[in-house]
A = this chain, B = another copy of it.
Amino acid sequence: MKKLCTIFSTWMLLFSLLARGLAEDVRHEIHFPNLPDYKTLKCDFHMHTVFSDGQVWPTVRVAEAWRQGLDAIVLTDHVEYQPHKEDLSTNLQRPWELAADEAKKKKLLFPRGVEITKDTPPGHYNAIFLKDANQLKTKDFVEQVKRANEQGAFVFWNHHTWKGADKGRWQDVQTLLYDNKWLHGMEVANGSEYYPEAHKWCLEKNLTMLGNTDIHEPDLRRTTTAGDHRTLTLVFVKEPTLDGLKEALKQRRTAVWHKDRLIGSKEWLAPLFDASVIVERPHLYANKTLWLKIHNRSDVDIRLKKSGGRGPTEIFLAADGTSLVQIADVPSAEPMDLTYTAVNFLIAPKTGLPVTLHIEKP
């Protein structure tokens, strides 16, 4: 039968097309489980089109979101920076209008938004859930934010370390917005950047944490994987509607997926971890050693370090994978709790999430 077998390995590759055949039309869901009381939406609230300095027509952003498994996106073209204006309309409603039908057909939540774009200070701010974006065409920054709030918008400070001598500093203008409850969140991650100070401020000041792409070019990713994904915001909603999304954002029920880690607060990373990690009952107890499987139902690789007691020093739970874990020096087959830190679930800068793995009796 050897001949058959060498042919075998050949044809297997012959229909790999079918798996990926309609890659650009097929949607592949992003895997993060729902929480006990909330549905987990995968969202990107910051991106550009040809209507400011982006390189794609608005509908391209909808197609990208569909195939990559996003649930909500916002086009946030610059109010103040429109380098294509010699050739293109400057109507701030147009990007949304041109893509809204496609978004509806694809069941994407698609609030209206813009990026208010000032030199630092105050810097750049996204206002989303707008009704009439063109009303923000005024020079006065505080007036812009005020008008956005009057429309019921959710407003957040983008990439706060951008740009100039004052970059990265919290100044009077932010205090003014904050005291008026006109500022609701901050980007703790933008594209490749993570902002530990923003992370800290969000925890201290009760601001919502956001992670977005700020993408300008076409996104070449066909799908989403642990190793090649958008920076995005997980939002834990009661209902997957525009209102449900806004309510969750205002109540700060978010976590940010950035590179190989999740960024957020203990309040939301803990239940996300618990929903993602499934510890099986040990299937073997021999020579005072337990053998068991642990499943990771999320698209993020999870890295655990032991913080005390029994168990291996490190456990690696690959995205959507199953790990075989061996616990040595177990005197008798009883249930036990292992204490670990999920080092890439950041509940504060440089601080991993403490977790407990409950091991049943084999």
Contacts and interface: CB of A to CB of B under 8 A. Distances in A.
B87 A21 contact: no
A330 interface: no
A283 interface: yes
Contacts of A324: 25, 27, 66, 105-106
Contact of A162 (B1, B19, B26, B63): B1
A240 B159 CA distance: 45
B320 A28 contact: yes
Contact of A20 (B13, B88, B231, B260): B13
Contact of A9 (B220, B260, B323, B326): B220
B2 A53 contact: yes
A291 B105 contact: yes
Contact of A27 (B8, B24, B98, B323): B323
Interface string A182-224: 0000000011110000000000000000000111111011100
A51 to B, nearest CB: 8
Interface string A315-334: 01011111110100000000
Nearest to A54: B57
Nearest to A191: B8
Contacts of A87: 88-89, 91, 94, 98
B216 A218 contact: no
A18 B191 contact: no
Nearest to A2: B216
Interface residues on A, range: 35 or more
A20 to B, nearest CB: 5
Contacts of A323: 25-27
Contacts of A143: none
A311 B318 CA distance: 40
B5 A214 contact: yes
A55 interface: yes
Contacts of A25: 6, 10, 323-324
Number of identical protomers: 4
A13 B316 CA distance: 15
Interface string A51-94: 00111110110010010000000000000000010111101001
A176 interface: no
A311 B165 CA distance: 27
B88 A19 contact: no
Nearest to A302: B18
A20 B191 CA distance: 18
A149 to B, nearest CB: 24
Given A107-B284, A213-B8, A227 B28 contact: no
A104 interface: yes
A303 to B, nearest CB: 8
A123 to B, nearest CB: 11
Interface in A272-300: 283-284, 291, 293, 295
Nearest to A280: B107
Given A88-B88, A105-B291, A284-B105, A9 B217 contact: yes
Interface of A: 1-2, 4-29, 50, 53-57, 59-60, 63, 66, 84, 86-89, 91, 94, 98, 104-107, 124, 158-159, 162, 190-193, 213-218, 220-222, 225-229, 231, 259-260, 283-284, 291, 293, 295, 301, 316, 318-324, 326
